[in-house]
Amino acid sequence: MLLKQPIVNISELRRIVDALLTHVEKVHGPEFRLENDYYLYLDSNVMYDVGKTINKVEETGSLGDDWEFLLNMKDENIKEDGPSLMLIHAAPLLRYIGEKVGA
């Protein structure tokens, strides 16, 4: 049963994402080539409000840029500064890999 307003346990999410990435490595190997770069980007105030009409998507994101941003994060920065917003760069990559490997 899907909850209307689920509460996400971060430790459980970490465990699940790690298990999914382990599976991707097992079936696909340790590296993944990005065959596409650009994707349509929706602002969060539109993305999470399904009642809004989207007339035109004016922004694009880049998987290559997302990967570069994440690679530039050093462990000490992550632990000290807590840049949780950088998750917005991991999400498109995870989706892309999931769609390509799962297809």
Instruction: Please tell me the predicted confidence (pLDDT) of residue 49.
Output: 85
Domains contained in the chain, number: 1
CA distance 101 to 55: 31
21 falls within a domain: no
Residue span of the structural domain in which 96 resides: 32-102
98 falls within a domain: yes
CB burial readout 40-76, b (16+ within 10 A) else e: eeeeeeeeeeeeeeeeeeeeebbbeebbeeeeeeeee
Mean pLDDT of 7-30: 95
14 falls within a domain: no
Mean pLDDT of the chain: 87
| DSSP secondary structure, 24-64, as one string | HHHHH-S----S--EEEE--HHHHT-TTS------EEEEHH
**pLDDT bracket for residue 103 (50, 70, 90):** low
**pLDDT bracket for residue 16 (50, 70, 90):** very high
The per-residue pLDDT for range 46-86, each reduced to its tens digit, is: 888 888 888 888 799 999 999 998 988 877 766 666 678 88
